[in-house]
Amino acid sequence: MKKLTLREQQLVCLNILDYFHALCERHQIHYSLGGGTLIGAIRHKGFIPWDDDIDVYMHRDEYQKFINAWLHEKHERYSIGTAEDILASNTGEMTKIFDNKTKTIDINGNENKIFIDIFIYDGIPNNKKIIYTIIKKYRKRKNRFASCKKRWIRASQKFIKIYNTKLVIESFIS
């Protein structure tokens, strides 16, 4: 099997996106690009030079339409791994569309395929005021969590200094 350059990987991702887009067009399913993919499209008129995947975002109802459409069509080259599918490998919290004619090996030696990610939006209101209120609450909670984490680290460091042994900490953790 030929080793692909980053640019070739990006082009494979683009082919997956084209396939995904065609399916969405046929079934009138809405989606958007996001994350590094959106930044690359705007800033670089393509991919971020070091980015090796594509991020797609969908509302839950559009995602359900997509899954139904996917299941009712035949796909020779592509496969899907959903967060709900316990048999899917390495999908994590999102859905992935894989190109079955590719193979990747990560730094841990795990095999996978080139893919695009599909992230699902849940519970996003249409009212901008409500969205900004939610963002404000999220940021406040995120900052509060970060503050708690810093205090935990400081307390842990004091504990280590007092007892000066990893064995004590390991016995508490295990």
- The domain that holds 77 is classified in CATH as 3.30.460
CA nearest neighbour of 93 among 113, 119, 65, 67 = 119
Cα–Cα dist 21/37, whole Å: 15
Is pLDDT of 76 > 90? yes
The count of structural domains within the chain is 2
> 136 and 107, same structural domain?
no
> 163 and 85, same structural domain?
no
pLDDT confidence band for 167 (50 / 70 / 90): very low
What is the pLDDT, as a whole number, of residue 23? 98
Please check whether residue 99 lies inside any domain of the structure: yes
What is the pLDDT, as a whole number, of residue 149? 66
What is the pLDDT, as a whole number, of residue 78? 97
Q: What is the mean pLDDT of residues 17-40?
A: 95
> 135 and 164, same structural domain?
yes
> 146 and 66, same structural domain?
no
Cα–Cα dist 66/10, whole Å: 23
> 73 and 34, same structural domain?
yes
Please check whether residue 55 lies inside any domain of the structure: yes
Which of 121, 139, 154 is the last residue in one of the domains?
121
**pLDDT tens column, 104-133:** 887 788 888 999 999 888 777 778 888 888
> 86 and 15, same structural domain?
yes
Is residue 54 within 8 A of residue 14, CB to CB? The reply is yes
Range of the domain at 166: 128-173
- pTM of the full structure: 0.69
